[in-house]
């Protein structure tokens, strides 16, 4: 492994000249703002996060305001970012901080790490960037920098590789300016030591980087082992009433799109027909639209939208579980469902020669 003694000094010197210091969550850099940004930035690019972060801060400017807000309000300000468990965990953690810690952030890693949705790296970021404490981090950008600099092979998601990376991160994190150092490492990975075509000529670590010297930047970090992504199939009913409202069901609080309002889903036509029959909805014309695919982190969802019209009085919504909603103003829809409904609305006046009309039995 290259000598580690000068590592943090070179990283901090680079940060002072080239690091990002004007991102919204850095002005000011508080533990609350660092926390929200770190959660939003998981699996999401900075450019995408910025407008969401600004709107979120506008609505929930403080830990207390987030803790006291209805969870549906939190989810509505998250809609479009995906991975909705992040938003539910934000709300739960804010309530725990408010109730158990008097609205203040604990200063020990274990307590912060134990909060809902906060892992070891996020806890380290909150403590170092938000509170000025020494704490190591290991997000995707930092993993890439360390794997290449130290020549660490193996997929970073494997237990042994992750342990080696954490040990190295802990060793290299300085006692002074820990927050700036961690921000610098994230910036270095995001802007210089990028996944493809890294700008090695601009890197302060080039002189003793194992990957650079061995022409290994294209193979380090080692990629995740390939596996076949499973595919799930379903039908989604787009049931519209005479006022243009869509019938929606609230999804369970946990799982995919947890807590959001979405279209009723069915495994097959038999299940759909049974649902229509049980709710005394008969004689409706079902228009099938082309299949659509939405990819989650661990599977593909292929679904066929089936359009139908009925009178809202034919089926009474259940309080809190189902309702007739205006799709143009509903803010707690999963992003792919919101896109689908917007496209259907736009195409309402255009004939679709590819539709297949399926009459239900009376």
Q: Which residues are catalytic?
A: 38
Alpha-carbon span 306 to 326, nearest angstrom: 18
Listed in sequence order, the residues at least 6 apart from 142 whose beta carbon sits closer than 8 Å to its beta carbon are: 121, 169, 182, 185, 186, 189
Give the 3-state secondary structure of residue 150.
helix
**Omega cis (within 30) before 221:** yes
Give the 3-state secondary structure of residue 286.
strand
Helices in the chain by DSSP H: which ranges?
A: 7-18, 31-41, 46-59, 63-68, 71-76, 85-100, 109-113, 120-125, 131, 140-150, 159-172, 178-191, 210-213, 269-278, 335-346
DSSP class per residue in 115-132:
STT--HHHHHHIIIIIH-
Alpha-carbon span 74 to 327, nearest angstrom: 18
Distances (CA, A) of 152 to 1, 72, 209, 304, 317: 9, 43, 11, 45, 57
**Omega cis (within 30) before 70:** no
Dmax over CA atoms of the chain, in Å, equals 79
How many CB atoms are closer than 10 A to CB 198?
Answer: 23
Task: Please identify which residue in the block is written with the tokens 């896109």.
Answer: 339
How many CA atoms within 13 Å lie on the side-chain side of 238?
21
Provide the token pair at 332.
């707690």
Angle at 132 between CA 131 and CA 133, to 5 degrees: 95
């Amino acid at each position: 492994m290259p000598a580690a003694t000068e590592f943090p000094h070179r990283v901090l010197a680079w940060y002072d000249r080239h690091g990002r210091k004007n991102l919204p969550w850095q002005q000011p850099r508080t533990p609350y703002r660092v926390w929200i940004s770190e959660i939003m930035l998981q699996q999401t690019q900075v450019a995408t996060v910025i407008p969401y972060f600004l709107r979120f801060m506008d609505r929930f400017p403080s830990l207390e305001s987030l803790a006291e807000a209805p969870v549906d309000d939190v989810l509505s300000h998250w809609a479009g970012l995906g991975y909705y468990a992040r938003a539910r965990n934000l709300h739960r953690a804010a309530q725990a901080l408010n109730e158990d810690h008097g609205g203040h952030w604990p200063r020990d890693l274990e307590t912060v790490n134990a909060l809902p949705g906060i892992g070891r790296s996020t806890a380290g970021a909150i403590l170092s960037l938000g509170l000025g404490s020494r704490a190591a981090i290991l997000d995707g950008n930092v993993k890439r920098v360390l794997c290449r600099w130290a020549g660490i092979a193996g997929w970073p998601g494997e237990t042994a590789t992750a342990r080696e990376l954490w040990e190295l991160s802990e060793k290299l994190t300085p006692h002074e300016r820990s927050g700036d150092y961690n921000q610098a490492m994230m910036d270095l990975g995001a802007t210089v030591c990028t996944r493809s075509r890294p700008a090695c000529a601009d890197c302060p670590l080039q002189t003793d980087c194992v990957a650079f010297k061995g022409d290994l930047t294209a193979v380090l970090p080692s990629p995740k082992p390939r596996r076949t992504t499973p595919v799930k199939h379903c039908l989604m009913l787009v049931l519209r009433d005479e006022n243009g409202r869509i019938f929606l069901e609230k999804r369970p609080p946990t799982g995919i799109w947890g807590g959001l309002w979405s279209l009723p889903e069915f495994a097959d036509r038999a299940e759909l027909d049974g649902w229509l029959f049980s709710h005394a909805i008969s004689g409706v014309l079902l228009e099938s639209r082309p299949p659509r695919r939405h990819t989650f982190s661990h599977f593909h969802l292929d679904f066929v939208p089936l359009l139908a019209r009925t009178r809202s009085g034919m089926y009474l919504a259940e309080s809190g579980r189902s309702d007739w909603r205006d799709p143009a103003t509903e803010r707690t829809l999963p992003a792919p469902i919101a896109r689908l409904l917007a496209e259907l609305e736009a195409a309402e006046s255009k004939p679709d020669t590819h539709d297949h009309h399926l009459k239900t039995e009376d």
